[in-house]
Amino acid sequence: MTQMTTITLGSRQIAIHSMSGEVMDTQKWVTTEISGGGGRGVVSHGSGYIEKDPVKSKHTTHDQIIIRTADGEEESLKVEDVHLAVRQGHWVSLIWAIPRGRTDGPFVAIFNHNTGALDFIGSAVNKACFPMISSVFGAISLFLALIGVFVCFLSSVVLGVLLMAPCAAYFFWLGKRRNAFTGQVAALRAQLKISQPAPKAVQ
């Protein structure tokens, strides 16, 4: 494990670490979750209604890779809906983020030295970038936005827009912070190629 840099997002400092190795095994599979179906309603004396519940399906793509570092250490990574393009024999770098004050953190990206692809793990990026309290502010701003929609239709457009403004500002802040983080991580590709290059045997 190598610490590459420290990213600062406001008052939050995040140490970026990496581990490089050869892909020893890779698996990809898809699971499908089906919900809904059937219906509900009321029928009495030959009249009434039936409300159908449509069938919904959700497909999730799973990837799992196992890498072995130059010193023989093995690490496993399992992600969902990232669609990793790796195969056995590729040299990759696993990148993870450890917020200040913690001893561990999530894998946020994987860099494939053979293809040059850098794939981010969205849920892990969010976990690394945003403190837990931000989700509370997000829930409050979303609740205010929903009230604002009703206010726009029922009474005052101006008041409704004012109630929705915090939600818009919150998501703007989320996007800006996330882009700042991924941009700084992406800038490490050249450093990874130099400091943790693939051995000639796997190039």
Pairing mode of beta strands 56-68, 74-80: antiparallel
pLDDT score of 24 more than 90: yes
What pLDDT, in 10s, does the model give residues 42-99? 655 656 666 666 777 888 888 899 999 888 888 888 888 888 888 899 999 999 899 8
pTM here is: 0.76
All domains of the chain, ordered by start, with CATH? 2-33+59-130+180-196 (2.40.50)
Interstrand relation of 2-9 and 12-35 (parallel, antiparallel or unpaired):
antiparallel
Paired with 74 in beta bridges are 68
Which of 50, 199, 54 has the alpha carbon at shortest distance from 113? 199
Residue 19: alpha-carbon gap to chain centroid: 20
Alpha-carbon distance 74 to 36, whole Å?
A: 42
pLDDT of residue 123: 87
Q: Return the number of other C-beta atoms located less than 10 Å from residue 202's C-beta.
A: 13
